[in-house]
Chain A
Amino acid sequence: MIGVLRNISPRALRVWQRNRDVYFVTWKTNLLPPLLEPILYLLAFGAGIGALVKEVPYRGGTIGYAAFIAPGLLATQVMFQAFFETTYNTFVRMYYQKTFDALVTTPLTLEDIMAGEMLWGASKGAIGCAVMMVAIGGFGLLDYPHALIIVPFSLLAGLFFAALGLCFTAVVPQIDAFNFPTFLFVMPMFLFSGTFFPLDVLPRWAQAIALALPLTHITNVMREAALGRLPADLAWDLLYLMVATVPLCLLGIRLMTRRLVK
């Protein structure tokens, strides 16, 4: 693991730049979904379900249903963007486009390349989140300036999912195998991390499982920030994420180099 760190240099940012440049070649198609998606969700869930469920009990008080799900949308956006970037897209670069084969002929190491991939995955999550915040802010569901914390925080959240994605990319035999982690981890997290309903309604054991999910903690931080509060107990969520992210990043790089060095 120490070897991994020694082989990472600032040149990793060159890989980040490459991916960013590709992203902005087709920026319209990339930026439109995070802008439009929350509008659809807020209409369907906010206006539709919200008509039935006006208020949601939350932290001893109640908040509007739209205000409840809006941060959940931001959190899941970061997860999807970052995770799908370092799974499907990284796999395409690795396997079909042979991009990494070209990159290793330059002074970049494989560790640089993988670090750049993860940083880009995290950034893509943060970009998606920031764009979505514009739309959600339009509904008056973000309390600024506290809500601004969500942007740098989404980078950390994105890094977690980018690292997780890279770990899977390092072990899947073929690209369709990503269906497994998607349905076993990502979809359950999407639904059961306090994103669309408060966790208190679940039985005790299910709440315990939900608390172990990283997305629960991310949603938690984002919801408090969106409501314009930053209570001290968010430190636990932050700590959880940092403790989980660092080793996952190292593991992702290590597994990828193991796959690619022959």
Chain B
Amino acid sequence: MGGPSQVIEARELRKRYGDFTAVDGIDFAIQAGECFGVLGPNGAGKTTTVKMIHCASPLTSGTLRVFGLDVGREPRRIKARIGVCSQEDNLDPDFSVLKNLTVFARYFGLPAPGALERARELLEFMGLWERRDDRIRDLSGGLKRRLVIARALINDPDLLILDEPTTGLDPQSRHQVWDRVRTLRRQGKTILLTTHYMDEAQTLCDRLVIMDRGRILVEGPPAELVRSRVGREVVEVWGYPPALLDHARLSGWNVEIDADRLFVYTESGEDILQAIAHRFPSERCTVRMAGLEDLFLKLTGRELRE
């Protein structure tokens, strides 16, 4: 247990704010070089977990080791090797884009000439070099996000934490960020990513957990989780009649409903489609591949949070 390749190891990790339990005894481990995802609805406890990992928030109970070091005992040594892109933008509005990076480098004790070189590399990597002299308030949301990621890389961290890195970005910016994250992963960085986007988790993560109300519901590689928990395909029926729902339940199908759709999770969509067409010929049905979103909604329900 806890070999050198284990970057994070959490056991019975718990965080309470007063009477409220935000993280409720979770266990997980992240291996060196993997991209590990944390999914969950608003308030699931993702950011709270992340803050405990980068030693900003003390644990209520349990153990948490990062690089084999205890977060309570060695925060400085741990933080020197982590880069954090936090959920909220906290760039320095008084400095230019470039200065944001060089000032940050000083906090890690990087000597000035090397820091400038590194800042330049990172701004080029994130496509921000042309904007190096801009003030922060003149940047769009997407550019700010990219700058926060660049800043998180200034110390060449062994562990990169990305807390909702693409929330609020347009599709182009998201793809660009994904592209950079993939490059980093190829370079062997260990990445911890939280997100609300299923496509993001599906394309980036080697392994993920889905959290809800402070607990981990499932853990595994995304494709495998979908396959084992949902099935291969989903049949969607729009504006289904109540009789169809009864029929589906009687037939022992794996079904879910929302306001106006009925979903059947199955290994063979074609068989279900035929069965429905046979008894309810007028219904509009489609078959598609099951995805992470199906798993997510199945596990966490369809009602709104917070």
Contacts and interface: CB of A to CB of B under 8 A. Distances in A.
- Which of A103, A106, A109: most chain B CB closer than 10 A? A106
Interface in B1-56: 17, 54-56
Q: How large is the interface on B (under 10, 10 to 19, 20 to 34, 35 or more residues)?
A: 20 to 34
A52 interface: no
Given A22-B94, A105-B79, A107-B107, A261 B57 contact: yes
Given A21-B95, A105-B84, A261-B57, A11 B109 contact: yes
A14 B102 CA distance: 12
A213 B30 CA distance: 57
B86 A25 contact: no
Interface string A10-35: 01001001100110010000000000
Contact of A99 (B79, B80, B92, B109): B92
A98 interface: yes
Given A25-B94, A109-B76, A262-B57, A101 B86 contact: yes
Nearest to B56: A104
Contact of A106 (B17, B77, B79, B91): B79
Contacts of B106: 14, 17-18
Given A22-B95, A98-B88, A98-B90, A105 B103 contact: no
A56 interface: no
Q: How large is the interface on A (under 10, 10 to 19, 20 to 34, 35 or more residues)?
A: 20 to 34
A261 B104 contact: no
B102 to A, nearest CB: 10
A103 B107 contact: yes
Contact of B107 (A21, A97, A106, A261): A106
Contact of A105 (B77, B86, B91): B86
Give the 6 A-B CB pairs with smallest separation, nearest first: A98-B90, A106-B107, A105-B84, A102-B90, A22-B94, A107-B76
5 contacts: A11-B107, A14-B106, A25-B94, A99-B92, A262-B17
Interface of A: 9, 11, 14, 17-18, 21-22, 25, 97-99, 101-109, 261-262
Interface of B: 17, 54-58, 75-77, 79-80, 82-84, 86, 88-95, 99, 103-104, 106-109, 151-152, 155
